[in-house]
Amino acid sequence: MIVVMKHTATEQDIEATAKNIEALGLKAVKIQGTERTVIAAVGEERVAGISSLESCPGVDEVLPIVAPYKLASRELKPEPTTSITGSLVCGNGTVGVIAGPCSIESEEQLMSTARAVKKSGASAIRGGAFKPRTSPYSFQGMKEEGLKLLAQARQETGLAVVTEVVSPDDVELVAEYADVLQIGARNMQNYRLLEAVGKSTRTALLKRGPSATINEWLLAAEYILDGGNQNVILCERGIRTFESHTRFTLPLATVPYVQQKTHLPIIVDPSHGTGHTHLVPAMSRASIAAGADGIIVEVHPNPDKALSDGYQSLTFQQFEETMQSCRTIAEAMQRQLGTF
Amino acid sequence: MIVVMKHTATEQDIEATAKNIEALGLKAVKIQGTERTVIAAVGEERVAGISSLESCPGVDEVLPIVAPYKLASRELKPEPTTSITGSLVCGNGTVGVIAGPCSIESEEQLMSTARAVKKSGASAIRGGAFKPRTSPYSFQGMKEEGLKLLAQARQETGLAVVTEVVSPDDVELVAEYADVLQIGARNMQNYRLLEAVGKSTRTALLKRGPSATINEWLLAAEYILDGGNQNVILCERGIRTFESHTRFTLPLATVPYVQQKTHLPIIVDPSHGTGHTHLVPAMSRASIAAGADGIIVEVHPNPDKALSDGYQSLTFQQFEETMQSCRTIAEAMQRQLGTF
Amino acid sequence: MIVVMKHTATEQDIEATAKNIEALGLKAVKIQGTERTVIAAVGEERVAGISSLESCPGVDEVLPIVAPYKLASRELKPEPTTSITGSLVCGNGTVGVIAGPCSIESEEQLMSTARAVKKSGASAIRGGAFKPRTSPYSFQGMKEEGLKLLAQARQETGLAVVTEVVSPDDVELVAEYADVLQIGARNMQNYRLLEAVGKSTRTALLKRGPSATINEWLLAAEYILDGGNQNVILCERGIRTFESHTRFTLPLATVPYVQQKTHLPIIVDPSHGTGHTHLVPAMSRASIAAGADGIIVEVHPNPDKALSDGYQSLTFQQFEETMQSCRTIAEAMQRQLGTF
Amino acid sequence: MIVVMKHTATEQDIEATAKNIEALGLKAVKIQGTERTVIAAVGEERVAGISSLESCPGVDEVLPIVAPYKLASRELKPEPTTSITGSLVCGNGTVGVIAGPCSIESEEQLMSTARAVKKSGASAIRGGAFKPRTSPYSFQGMKEEGLKLLAQARQETGLAVVTEVVSPDDVELVAEYADVLQIGARNMQNYRLLEAVGKSTRTALLKRGPSATINEWLLAAEYILDGGNQNVILCERGIRTFESHTRFTLPLATVPYVQQKTHLPIIVDPSHGTGHTHLVPAMSRASIAAGADGIIVEVHPNPDKALSDGYQSLTFQQFEETMQSCRTIAEAMQRQLGTF
């Protein structure tokens, strides 16, 4: 960590700050610049109270040097991790494809979708049973009944099951039916939930919060890894910016950036990332060309009748066409799309 | 709701969309413009599936007209609500002042702070016992022991107690000790938690998420109101923007804007809203001049030794001076600061 | 345009607003909703004073329906425009590649770069002679001497020349040497410059401002088109968001979105869009997979010695490798990369 | 400047980087941390090519230590500068008030406004003669005729004249009539314009660009100061964020922050900063409570008939009431509002 002193800092301020640094167990190295003094604090930065050094008289700012996460870092594990959960493989040359409806609405809806996406080459079926909804007046999900339908879809198609868990109390129940526990963007910093998923043996799919920095996101992953669950997939799903023509802004540079910082696999959600059906095919292709280890796409038999997210769902036909073009891009990248 | 058709929409598309609108129980009124047709959908917009109309062939976009929340709205309750919780009053000419440390660290730290902020005129003591921390390696709070110290502080000073609750499972325990249950910015859309607080008899303090729109925030309040808890205080604590010289950007226009949309009182958090001690006094004054019903400020006996948030905490002396200048501004606004 | 009345608007407010609408030459159609009245204003919306309707008593908001631009719109010209400028073709199945240094620094630097990028398959050479620099203490460019070197590079390699123009007074001079006049992100709303380029016969390359909405950007293009210059290429170069691990956030969904709204070709700048050399190859590929009509990439013989933008420039070798992988992606999209 | 090496950097990378630093005339001090090496580069950082060090093999990032601007800094001039231009005083205990219409539309409109704002206590009249408009189809201003009306308003009322200049070619003409040359937000990085205003003897009013960082803004001021013009007023007018209920987000913490970094006075524009008439009074008060050296407010005799910006303009009556409440706040701050 580098502690930058103000240009008005006195010799006494500098000494006192150095002492405070050493009280935290770090070594203080003073460097006298032409306009200011900086103090390099050498040692383990990831300790409580570091940031409060900014309150020392004469301190201007504190610049961290090492990443705040450990277990998720490439420093700890230089080679990339491949996530394998039944039919769903993300990494090591395979681009996993998770597809299905936003909400499970009925047996007919889910089963027809599972068959269709399987036929087009998807690796896993997704569907929401417990739904976190912005409005209390929106459809809240079929709950356990929905989970049973997901298990039925796996039974018939062999597809791995991905579904969201919204509360630590539900982790056990959801884990009974699902292969992958999705933590939604709104719950990225719900630490009790992260801890509960950290104790599960199911794969975790951790979506990025819409205003989370990369460090905050990887620290959320760190909670899961720290709990003992080593199978974590990251998912970029768009951030909140001033742009309003898309529901979120999908920053694909996240993919190569994150791949340098962490060994965990990263997939992209072009459905939430754009919020418009007509943008999903192009952004699915672009995600793969950017090097993503997978995509997660909303598919619905009748988007204009969907109880949620119809505006960003693909029909079966649109999904089939998207998969065809994505397969060509994956091959150009010398990767394979899906697991079959 | 207004459904805007594409300029390429056919007569058939328009008819089919009108039918879909009527299937949702709304009346469709077509208006033929010079370049496009729009369809006004008259009736209750707050029903599932509305947004999926965007998937109908020929539809360009769907523009909602009424606010998505009801119970929180001024339409439902035109006069402002005053929140009264023991010594803490927010609204009706009184500017409530909540002050105290980010985390409770020890009896000595909390009790000395409670006495100091009481002396300077605060209405309530704040202090974190259950801490949601970005990093698993940061100090996680004193938990129930901290709650007991808060109760002791109330006992001695008469100040109402404000503290954060991070999980639905903790609501009962925290409510045993606290007067006001704070829902932090990261949990603004933790719906299970909102539901649990909605069933409590304690006042709720709902912080705005750093990327939440006003509608999303008021819908989160709606979850609490809908659960039966009518005592909800909103708290603006800064949003995430491209600005990096402050930890968050504090948009004070939220205050007069929200006061037009909702009857709920709104307070401001200049500590998290700026992230720097030296900006807190000016932004406390500005919040009051903008018409806020209260402020919540971090105060610590030794900010440079604090286990969390030292960089944005005021010393006792700084808090006393801030209160003096805030009192002058409150009087200029013909309001009173604190309750005494 | 839809004028939404407040729920408290009186019959008189509604009548007065309708009259104001008709005074602007539009027809007012009132629609009585369950909670509010809206007035559809039918006719040409693109007239002065429309937005001031929001000041009429009882008006809540004014929602425009048609795009504010005309000449740039797909409504006016449904088929896409292909931009052809010597060796540089953008559109109609060809992905144009513009490459070269941020600033022209010397004959040796520019000529070696021109030869290298030509060999790797670029369609045009870029290089800044007039530099808009954030700091007055930074290198400001070689000015006319730089333009002469660009012309020399074209002479030798046959590559079209792309360079920035920063002032209306320079348009004539720059147009003497350059084939494409680049308008930088900081000048996107420098209307005098847009007007001057609108009168030129050279192709215009219009970068998106870092906080410009799509409408503002297309209105800037409209200034050029309205001036008589029909050869305009749009360039997405990243927007300003809360993300700080990249210099800007590159929102590739702009590509398919803009292609639906306008007939103009759109290219992407992955160098400024990410600000880091190591992210440029992946984002170049992703841009092409998203359907971009071209890319513009910074290349320098010795990035670590560059007078500007070294941190985001590719070496000759990195550019060669990037072109190879981009070519594979372009072929997967059934397009051709470059013009040869 | 601190150069942070990657954890994978070799001894050779570190040596080579140190050499590159010394080639720029700086001294390289190596500090060996537990996970990484950092190199402090001691000396004048404000030289070309510094940032290209990020391209050296093994370098992770380059962290600047000193502010990139000099003449604008408090380091250079510790005491605040008071800007005095006839009746307009900003700083040293006086809160300047600039008021008037967005665009000058007619003699009657401007003269009646000048009289009204003078009567309510404004220090200066504003009005746009040369208008930078987002759309080529909007009202573009009365140009020189408008300037003449401004001079007439000064003649009659004694108010200083503030008006925008949009092109270097117009500086001389505008300076003939105006006392303060306003550089609009869209032109904040129009360097030719900054240079031209830097050579003028008129006061410069430099608005912050909607996505400009504080450093970029102060570097723009540096261009003017560097040109020889020492009378520069900064103006915060709102930034672009994800918030859409206001036209821009007005970050008032800018005021105390900037006052620590620069000696230049800073005023606030609550009209553009919110974009809604009904939010302007509260944000005017809040600006003054935050410590602003002035405000600039849009006032129009008939906002609902205005040719531009009616939605954010105050009527004479609203301005009078706003001034009354602002005066009370200014007095609570022990400052005086306006100059009379």
Domain assignment of residue B68, yes or no: no
Verify that A281 and A138 share a domain, yes or no. yes
Size of interface A-D (CB pairs under 8 A): 56
The CA-based angle C168-C171-C175, given to 5 degrees, is: 170
A107-120 helix and A316-332 helix, angle to the nearest 10 degrees? 30
Verify that C208 and C299 share a domain, yes or no. yes
Q: Are A222 and A216 in contact (CB under 8 A)?
A: no
**What pLDDT does A307 receive?**
86
Could you tell me which residues are beta bridge partners of residue C296?
C98
Unique residue bearing structure tokens 């103009």? C264
C25 vs A161, more confident: A161
pLDDT higher than 90, residue B282: yes
Size of interface B-D (CB pairs under 8 A): 124
Q: Does residue D168 sit at the C interface (CB-CB below 8 Å)? A: yes
Of B161-165, B232-236, D265-269, D303-307, minimum mean pLDDT range: D303-307
Average pLDDT over residues C204-228: 97
Tell me the pLDDT tens digit for each residue of B258-281: 999 999 999 999 999 999 999 999
Average pLDDT over chain D, rounded to an integer:
94
Tell me the pLDDT tens digit for each residue of D132-153: 888 888 888 999 999 999 999 9
Name the closest residue on chain D to residue A63, using Cα atoms: D63
pLDDT higher than 60, residue C228: yes
Verify that C101 and C42 share a domain, yes or no. no
Phi-psi region of A27 (alpha: psi -120 to 50; beta: other; left: phi over 0): beta
Domain count, chain D: 2
Spatial distance between the Cα atoms of C204 and C225, rounded to a whole number of angstroms: 10
Domain assignment of residue B70, yes or no: no
Q: Among C26, C34, C46, C65, pick the best mutation site for testing chain B contact (most B Cβ within 10 A).
A: C65
Q: Are A129 and A163 in contact (CB under 8 A)?
A: yes
Please state, for a pLDDT cut of 90, what percent of chain C lies above it.
82
Q: Does residue D47 sit at the A interface (CB-CB below 8 Å)? A: no
Verify that C222 and C272 share a domain, yes or no. yes
Domain assignment of residue C71, yes or no: no
State whether D192 and C49 contact (CB < 8 Å).
no
Domain-terminating residue out of D63, D91, D111: D63
Domain assignment of residue D114, yes or no: yes
**What pLDDT does B66 receive?**
84
pLDDT higher than 90, residue D308: no
State whether B2 and C7 contact (CB < 8 Å).
no
Spatial distance between the Cα atoms of B302 and B318, rounded to a whole number of angstroms: 12
Nearest chain C Cα distance for residue D137, angstroms: 7
**Interface partners of B (3+ CB pairs, < 8 Å)?**
A, C, D
> Is residue C54 very low, low, confident or very high in pLDDT (cuts 50, 70, 90)?
confident
Q: Does residue C166 sit at the D interface (CB-CB below 8 Å)? A: yes
Unique residue bearing structure tokens 């320098």? C300
Q: pTM for this one?
A: 0.96
Reading the block at residue A214, the tokens are 């990369």
Q: Are C198 and C167 in contact (CB under 8 A)?
A: no
Domain assignment of residue A329, yes or no: yes
User: Which range is most confident: A129-138, C144-153, D44-53?
Assistant: C144-153
**What pLDDT does D65 receive?**
86
Q: How many CB atoms lie within 10 A of CB C12?
A: 10
Collapse the DSSP code of D241 into the 3-class scheme (helix H, G, I; strand E, B; otherwise coil) and give the result: coil
**What pLDDT does D48 receive?**
66
Could you tell me which residues are beta bridge partners of residue B20?
none
Secondary structure of A166-217 as H, E, C letters? CCHHHHHHHHHHCCEEEECHHHCCCHHHHHHHHCCCCEEEEECCCCCCHHHH
Verify that D57 and D97 share a domain, yes or no. no
Q: By residue range, what is the domain housing residue D22?
A: 2-63
Name the closest residue on chain C to residue B246, using Cα atoms: C242
A324 vs A75, more confident: A324
Q: Out of D56, D135, D210, whose CB is closest to C211? A: D210
Average pLDDT over chain A, rounded to an integer:
94
Tell me the pLDDT tens digit for each residue of A287-323: 999 999 999 999 999 998 888 888 999 999 999 999 9
Verify that C51 and C120 share a domain, yes or no. no
Q: Which helix (H) or strand (E) holds D85?
A: strand D83-85
Nearest chain C Cα distance for residue B14, angstroms: 16
Spatial distance between the Cα atoms of A221 and A198, rounded to a whole number of angstroms: 9
**What pLDDT does A86 receive?**
96
Of B136-150, D92-106, D279-293, minimum mean pLDDT range: B136-150
Q: Write out chain A residues lying below 8 Å of D43, CB-based.
A: 33-34
Average pLDDT over residues D97-104: 97
Average pLDDT over residues A209-214: 97
**What pLDDT does B339 receive?**
67
Q: Write out chain C residues lying below 8 Å of B244, CB-based.
A: 244
Verify that C155 and C217 share a domain, yes or no. yes
State whether D285 and B287 contact (CB < 8 Å).
no
Q: Among C211, C236, C237, C245, pick the best mutation site for testing chain A contact (most A Cβ within 10 A).
A: C245
Q: What is the ipTM of this complex?
A: 0.95
Domain assignment of residue A37, yes or no: yes
Please state, for a pLDDT cut of 70, what percent of chain C lies above it.
99
Average pLDDT over residues B84-92: 96
Spatial distance between the Cα atoms of B79 and B282, rounded to a whole number of angstroms: 30
Domain assignment of residue D299, yes or no: yes
Spatial distance between the Cα atoms of C250 and C283, rounded to a whole number of angstroms: 9
Q: Does residue C260 sit at the B interface (CB-CB below 8 Å)? A: no
Q: How many CB atoms lie within 10 A of CB C25?
A: 10
D51 vs B125, more confident: B125
pLDDT higher than 70, residue C340: no
Tell me the pLDDT tens digit for each residue of C135-181: 888 888 999 999 999 999 999 999 999 999 999 999 999 999 999 99
Tell me, what CATH number does A57's domain have?
Answer: 3.30.70.1140
> Is residue B329 very low, low, confident or very high in pLDDT (cuts 50, 70, 90)?
very high
Name the closest residue on chain A to residue D248, using Cα atoms: A242
Average pLDDT over residues A84-93: 96
Domain assignment of residue B71, yes or no: no
Chain C window 117-136: which residues touch B at a Cβ cutoff of 8 Å?
A: none
Residues A6, A12, A16, A17: what is their CA dihedral angle, to the nearest 10 degrees?
Answer: 20
Q: Write out chain A residues lying below 8 Å of B219, CB-based.
A: 134-136
> Is residue C47 very low, low, confident or very high in pLDDT (cuts 50, 70, 90)?
confident
Q: How many CB atoms lie within 10 A of CB D83?
A: 26
Q: Does residue D252 sit at the B interface (CB-CB below 8 Å)? A: yes
Verify that B10 and B45 share a domain, yes or no. yes
Tell me the pLDDT tens digit for each residue of C247-306: 999 999 999 999 999 999 999 999 999 999 999 999 999 999 999 999 999 999 999 888
**What pLDDT does D309 receive?**
85
Q: Out of D49, D216, D307, whose CB is closest to C134? A: D216
Average pLDDT over residues B109-136: 94
Q: Among A171, A216, A299, A304, pick the best mutation site for testing chain B contact (most B Cβ within 10 A).
A: A304
Q: Does residue C65 sit at the B interface (CB-CB below 8 Å)? A: yes
Verify that D90 and D163 share a domain, yes or no. yes
pLDDT higher than 70, residue C115: yes
Nearest chain B Cα distance for residue C38, angstroms: 9
Nearest chain C Cα distance for residue D81, angstroms: 22
Verify that A257 and A204 share a domain, yes or no. yes
**What pLDDT does D125 receive?**
98
DSSP class of A255: H
Could you tell me which residues are beta bridge partners of residue B59?
B5
**What pLDDT does A92 receive?**
94
Tell me, what CATH number does C241's domain have?
Answer: 3.20.20.70
Q: Are B188 and B207 in contact (CB under 8 A)?
A: yes
Please state, for a pLDDT cut of 90, what percent of chain B lies above it.
82
pLDDT higher than 90, residue A340: no
Q: Write out chain D residues lying below 8 Å of C138, CB-based.
A: 48
Average pLDDT over residues D231-257: 97
Average pLDDT over chain C, rounded to an integer:
94
Name the closest residue on chain C to residue D139, using Cα atoms: C48
**Interface partners of A (3+ CB pairs, < 8 Å)?**
B, C, D
pLDDT higher than 60, residue D197: yes
Verify that D128 and D156 share a domain, yes or no. yes
Verify that A136 and A285 share a domain, yes or no. yes
